[in-house]
Every structure is written in structure tokens, then in C-alpha cells.
Amino acid sequence: MSESRFKVVKSNRANRIALAAAGLVVVGFVSVPLWAQPSFQRTLTTYLCLLALAQMWNLLAGYAGLLSVGQQAYIGLGAYGLWVFADGFGLNPFLAVPLAGLAAALIALPTSVLAFRLRGGYFAIGTWVIAEAYRLIVTNIDWVGGGSGTTVTGASHVKMATRIPVTYLMALGVAVGSVLLVFFLLRSRLGLALTAVRDNETGAESLGVDVSRAKRYVYLISAFGCGLAGAVTYLNLLRIQPNAAFSVQWTALMIFIVVIGGVGSIEGPIIGTIVFLALQELLSDYGSWYLILVGAVAVAITIWNPRGIWGLITSRRPLNLFPLRRHLVVADALAPEAVKPEGSVGRSE
Amino acid sequence: MTWVNLVIQGILLGGLYALFASGLSLIFGVMKLVNLAHGDLSNMAAFLALIVVDSLGWNPFASLLIVVPLMCGVGYVLQRYLLNRTLERGPMPPLLVTFGLAVIIQNLLLEAFSADSQGLDAGRIEDAALTITGRLAVGWLPLVTMSVAIAVIAGLQFFLGRTQLGRGFRATSDNQSAAQLVGINNQRLYGLAMALALATAAIAGVFIAIRTTFTPDAGSLRLIFAYEAVIMGGMGSLWGTLVGGMVLGVAQTIGSQIDPGFGVLAGHLVFLAVLAFRPEGLFAKQVAE
């Protein structure tokens, strides 16, 4: 059993074809500003930001077991970060977006100390309280418009023909970036640690995985992603109000999208976003009924089909567009069963 | 004298929060369930009371005779046919289902009753006050609310400690499978616990609806207050929850006195301070974690 007889394989031909197809889809999305109406670009911007947010919640809850109901804290902070850097400090509004994301991550660091005092369901409550506290603090600051909010004037002065396509492309960047970020993160050492934590937290800790550090990294990354998505969302909307920017409805949407698509897979949030888009656009004339329906679907899926739509698709035929598993291959090729998931190291379901 | 008055008002407000929170404490104690729909369910009870008051012309307090049994039924059905299926699968599924229910209830109320704020008129008790000294008066309604909160918590304590069913609750809480071995039907027991929890939620919902106006989205904030009371009091301790509620109520009333926009935030900040310095709660039976 010399070492050379084994190798660890992460991807196969099907994955590479799928990735190439995904690349083509992205190219198609990049071309949108060349042919689409501004209103269509603005709508797509909304959903691309939602996709990024859903990826961030999935990373938190699906992979790190951090059941946050308070990610709206970082969406709101990202939105207000945009205003502070663009209008408060007079920077270019597009440059203000990444700075807003960084600011959200920076604030998340001390916040995590408090939030991590609680576990499971109480962690959810804690994050919600923290988001409410940030909302009320912002509401009490007159400089940023207090309770009635403010407008990102630095961005509204940029002419529409530039602002809308650039905002759209930034949203696309954030969405694709969130998918790639989660993908490479999960393939990294941190990803292995998270997988171990997900499967058995105590076991992982006893094998030397620094569980709390891994979780904290994920929390900060998710805050950064939510901050970025929040900043791009409000670069699209321009008018910021604390009750809307810090609304728990953001987290509700993230959760519903992830649950419907499939918790704990990169493909899940993508599918969930498409389903959500379809339902919301179809039911746009019926007030908040889309939310009731989406919520009901998410509840039903949690109870009867916890792996979501992506789980349904892959239960018949093993398929993953984003190869995260590590397969142990015996070099002799005499043991083909070794490439089956049973013989894989890492993600086991 | 203002400050004494504020502290008394705060303590009495805490009684209301404790009334909300006692049901949460109970179900967490029995089945380790964090119910994110509790606030919206209690708000739903307030809207049910509104229907009773409007259609039958009853006093809101009398509407409890209909609303409480109704909410018990809702709780039992909800637990047996929905929530029981999510237990024993880790903390995520119950959280997702109750959060989903919260959003569904809130938006159904919004569709049925619009976003207008509603009120329940209980008559003279709303303004009547008990004068203690010349400058110190306490409203009868907060006093009644506090008495009801204490009665509910004492009742729950008595029920858990002294009755056959209560012993079953404690047995399941201590060791599920052992409780099953000695013949306890966990599924049914959980249903009864939720029925009881929603009975308290219904009482609390109607009391707050009498005290102030309410809207379809009022549930989430109440849920937060209730859990702040539970966590500050030390999870799983009913009397601790009462004290946690009082701490929250006093923080909020004093905060509002400093600046009207600071009341709720002051409550959150006190909660976060407790989390930072005494995460196991003020009156924990055991260290959390």
C-alpha cells in the first residue's frame, strides 16, 4: 500500500462540462446591459443580490450550523455604509460598495463575541436582537436621517445610463462572487473543518478542529457578503429607510430561498432564487400572498423533504455542478467501487 | 418620586413580558423547542378576541373564554401534526418551521385585517388607577396583568411539580426515551405542552391588546421581548423568567424616560450586557452550554 497507489480526486468530466456551461450562462448575464431595458436590469439586480444573500445564509446555517435570523443587521449596515462612504465622505458610490462590505465585516467581529454566547435556537434570537439594536441605533442617529432615512445622493447624481448597468454588473459580480467564494471556501481547509463540524461537532473538536474559529470566520465572511449585497441593493434603490433596510423580512427571504432550493448545497440557493423569482413575479398583483405561499412551501419542504428541490433532483441521479467531495481513487483502477460516494472522504450524506 | 414610579411601571410591564414568556419557558423546558411563531400566535389570539368582541359585543376579558380554548386547540394540532415531525432532527428544522409559520401568520393577518392598528376596549379599568400616595399611582390594568402573570407562573409550577401530567412533562424533559419506556406518550405530551403554552400566549396577547393598540406585525417584537426575558432570567426557570421580564420592563421604561426613542433599545442593550457578562442568565439553575 504505497502512497502512489492512491490519489484524491475532487472533480470529474461531468463537473468540468457543467462548469463550462455555468461559465456560458455567466457570459450571457454579462451581456444583459447591451440589450435589456433599464427596468429589467434593475429587477435582475434585485434577484442577483438575493442570490448572494441566500448563499451567505446557506454558508452560515447549512455548513456552519449558525442559525442566524439576524443577517438583516449586515444588509442594513451595508446600506448605511454605502451612504456614509458615498455621501458622508464624498467617495465614488461604486467604490463605496466594497468599503461598506468591509465595514459590515469589521462590525461583525465584536458582534460575534456576543452572538456566540448563545447556541442553536437561542443563537437565532440573539442575532435577531442584535439586528434590532443596530436598527434602533441607526434610527437614533440624525446624521444618517434618523427614522425617516436618507437618500444616496452621490449615486443619484450619476447619470442613469451609467448607474444602472454598473449597478447591475456589480450585483452580478456579488452573486457570482458569492457562489465562487462558497465553492472555494468549502474546498479549502476551512471547508473540511466545517464539514467535520457539520457531521459531528464534538468529534471534530476532539480531532483538533478549532470549531469556534471556523464558525467565527464563516460569520465574518457572511457579514461581508451580506454587507456587499445590501450596499448594491441600495445602490439600486437609492432610498434607505432603517425599518426596511434592517427588516427581518430579508432573512425570511434568504431562509425560504435556501430551504426551497436545498440547505447545505451550493446549487440549492441558485434554484431557490429562480423559484422565488417565478413565484414573486407571478403573484405580484396579490399583495403579500407570495410571501405566504413561499413560506408555506418552505415549511412543507422542511418537514417532508428537508433536502429541498436540489435534493429531489440528485436523489434519482447523483449530480453536483460544484464538486466539493473528495474521492479516493485507487491508482490500479481495479477497484472502481472506490470512486463511488461510499468510498469518498469528506462530504457524506 | 418619578424614578420610583418608573421602576414600578417597569416592573409591572415586566409582568406582561413574563406572561408572554412563560409559555416559551415551558416548551423549551419540555421539548427544547425554540418557537419563533409564539409572538405571532399570541397576536393572532388578539385578533381572534377582536372578532369575538366585534361580533358578540363581549368585554375583551370575557372573550378569553372563547379565545383561550381555541388557541389550546391550535397549539395541540400544530404540535402534533407539524412540529413533532421536526423534533429530534437537530435545532434547524423546528426553527425553520416556526419561523415560516411566523411569517405566514403575520401576512395572513395583514391580508385579513389590513395594516391599520386595532384596539380592544375593556372599559373603565383601562384608565382606573390605585393611588398609593399623593404622587404615586398605579394603574389597575398593569396590576391585574401582573397578578395574572404571577398566577399563571405559580399555576404552571404547581402543575409541573404536583400533578401526574406535570410529572410526565418533567420526565420527558429529563430523559425522553426513558419516559417513553415507562409508558409516557411523548407525542401527545408535546401537544399538550404546546396547547398550554398557547393558552398563556393567548392571555398575554389579549392583555397587551387591551393595554395598547396592535397591528398584524406586532408579533415579532413581542417574541423578542419574551425571549429576552427567558434568556436573562436563565433558561428553563419560570420564576427567573418573571425576573427577566421585570429587568427588561424597568430598562425600557427608564430608557423611554431618558429619550422616547431609546426605550426599546435600552432593553436590548441591557439584554446584550447580560449576555456579555452573565450568559447563563441572572437566575440560571445551571450554567448554559
- Residue range B99-143, pLDDT digits in tens: 999 999 999 999 999 889 888 887 777 778 887 777 777 888 889
Residue A293 in contact with partner chain B when CB distance is under 8 A? no
Query: HSE (CB half, 13 Å, CA atoms) of B142?
Result: 20
What is the number of structural domains in chain B? 1
Per-residue pLDDT of chain A (349 residues; tens, 9 = 90+): 445 677 777 777 777 888 888 889 999 999 999 999 999 999 999 999 999 999 999 999 998 889 999 999 999 999 999 999 999 999 999 999 999 999 999 999 999 999 998 888 889 999 999 999 999 999 999 999 888 899 998 888 888 888 999 999 999 999 999 999 999 998 898 888 888 887 788 888 888 888 888 999 999 999 999 999 999 999 999 999 999 999 999 999 999 999 999 998 899 999 999 999 999 999 988 888 999 999 999 999 999 998 999 999 888 777 777 777 676 777 655 444 444 444 344 443 3
Complete DSSP assignment for A5-28: GEEEE---HHHHHHHHHHHHHHHH
Angular region, B120: left φ>0, alpha ψ -120 to 50, beta rest? beta
Interface with chain B: mutation pick from A122, A205, A256, highest number of B CBs within 10 Å: A122
The packing angle between helices B38-56 and B219-233, to 10°, is 130
Which residue among B95, B221, B279 sits closest to A121, beta carbon to beta carbon? B95
Indicate yes or no: CB of B264 within 8 angstroms of CB of A147: no
Alpha carbons A242 and B258: distance in angstroms, whole number: 22
Amino acid making up residue B206: V
φ and ψ of A150, to 5 deg: -155, 170
* Inside any domain, residue B120: yes
What is the domain extent for residue B65? 2-277
**CATH at B19:** 1.10.3470
Q: Is the pLDDT of residue B150 over 90?
A: yes
Interface with chain B: mutation pick from A303, A304, A305, highest number of B CBs within 10 Å: A303
Provide the CA B198 distance to its chain's centre, in angstroms.
Answer: 9
* Inside any domain, residue B288: no
Which residue among A117, A129, A136 sits closest to B228, beta carbon to beta carbon? A129
Indicate yes or no: CB of B91 within 8 angstroms of CB of A120: yes
DSSP state of B85: G
Interface with chain B: mutation pick from A113, A125, A130, highest number of B CBs within 10 Å: A125
Indicate yes or no: CB of A67 within 8 angstroms of CB of B85: no
Alpha carbons B169 and B182: distance in angstroms, whole number: 13
* Inside any domain, residue B179: yes
Alpha carbons A217 and A64: distance in angstroms, whole number: 10
Indicate yes or no: CB of B235 within 8 angstroms of CB of A122: yes
Inter-CA distances, B226 with A128, B102, B121, Å: 13, 15, 24
DSSP state of A340: S
Residue B6 in contact with partner chain A when CB distance is under 8 A? no
- Residue range B231-260, pLDDT digits in tens: 998 877 888 899 999 999 999 999 999 988
Give yes or no for a contact between A46 and A233, defined as CB atoms under 8 angstroms apart: yes
Task: Please identify among residues 84-113 of chain A the ones whose CB lies closer than 8 Å to any CB of chain B.
Answer: 113
Tell me the sheet residues that pair with B137. Answer: B131
* Inside any domain, residue B287: no
Helix or strand holding residue B129 (H, E): strand B129-133
Q: Which of B117, B141, B120, B113 is nearest to B129 (CA)?
A: B141
Give yes or no for a contact between B259 and A147, defined as CB atoms under 8 angstroms apart: no
